[in-house]
Chains A and B, each alone.
Chain A
Amino acid sequence: DTGVSQDPRHKITKRGQNVTFRCDPISEHNRLYWYRQTLGQGPEFLTYFQNEAQLEKSRLLSDRFSAERPKGSFSTLEIQRTEQGDSAMYLCASSPQTEYEQYFGPGTRLTVT
């Protein structure tokens, strides 16, 4: 396994458009996390899945954001009606049930113009 992968790596979109990002975790990892990171800040938690169940969602996550993990494997994060403030790096991480370490993907850099 080559680690956590994310697609696309870069996305430029116009304000008001919808975007969807995909994350493929390490295959045996049942926990999956989405974070957002802006320049000079640490990763900010967005949402967490254990298998296909979305167990936690940040209060900072507006209703324009939705995430799914339909079969407990890959996950998608959709942002509707994008705003310039959504410009950031979106990071996905996964971990197995028995470990504390999170393995991060390379991220998707979103630019909203």
Chain B
Amino acid sequence: GQNIDQPTEMTATEGAIVQINCTYQTSGFNGLFWYQQHAGEAPTFLSYNVLDGLEEKGRFSSFLSRSKGYSYLLLKELQMKDSASYLCAVRDVGGSYIPTFGRGTSLIVHP
């Protein structure tokens, strides 16, 4: 099974940088995802990490340390539209490729 932990809520100021952490425990590891979900909408894919290190994509970056069971999502130059829930999901080894999602971190960006 898998256990995924991320903070419930975070607040930040427009223009600032925020780091959302995710820790996980899994019997086998085959990739970690970050999804963004605005209220009442479907999750949309942000990033995928399977090897250690930092993956940068525009204002968003995602980091993975497999030995520590740890990832973070870094959002730079925050905008009001970044207010959303950020879901960390981990995929176990095996053939089904089905990720298990954490509860999500609700990010509130204020002016």
Tell me the A residues contacting B by CB distance below 8 Å.
Answer: 4, 31, 33, 35, 40-45, 48, 55-56, 91, 95, 100-107
Cross-chain pairs A/B with CB under 8 angstroms, 14 sampled: A4-B42, A31-B97, A40-B103, A42-B87, A42-B104, A43-B101, A45-B98, A48-B98, A56-B96, A91-B43, A100-B33, A100-B48, A101-B48, A104-B44
* Given contact pairs A56-B96, A101-B33, a sample of 12 additional A-B residue pairs in the complex whose CB atoms are under 8 Å apart: A41-B104, A42-B87, A42-B103, A42-B104, A48-B96, A48-B98, A95-B97, A100-B31, A102-B45, A104-B43, A106-B42, A107-B42
Contact of A43 among B43, B44, B45, B91 (CB under 8 A): B43
A42 x B101 contact (CB < 8 A): yes
Q: Does B100 contact A (CB under 8 A)?
A: yes
Q: Among residues 89 to 109 in chain B, which have CB atoms less than 8 Å away from a CB atom of chain A? A: 89, 91, 96-104
User: A89 vs B89: C-alpha distance in the bound complex, in angstroms?
Assistant: 18
Please give me the residue from chain A that is nearest to B8 by CB atom.
A40
How many Å from the CB of A101 to the closest CB on chain B?
A: 5
**Number of chain B residues whose Cβ lies closer than 8 Å to a Cβ of chain A:** 21
Chain B residues with CB below 8 A from A44, complex form: 101
B33 to chain A, nearest CB (A): 8
| Of the residues B42, B97, B104, contact of A100 by C-beta under 8 Å | B97
Q: Which of B44, B87, B98 contacts A56 (CB 8 A)?
A: B98
Shortest Cβ gap from B104 to chain A (Å): 5
Q: Which of B66-107 contact A (CB under 8 A)?
A: 87, 89, 91, 96-104
The interface bits of chain B over 8-45 (1 if a CB of A lies within 8 angstroms of the residue's CB, else 0) are 10000000000000000000000101000000011111
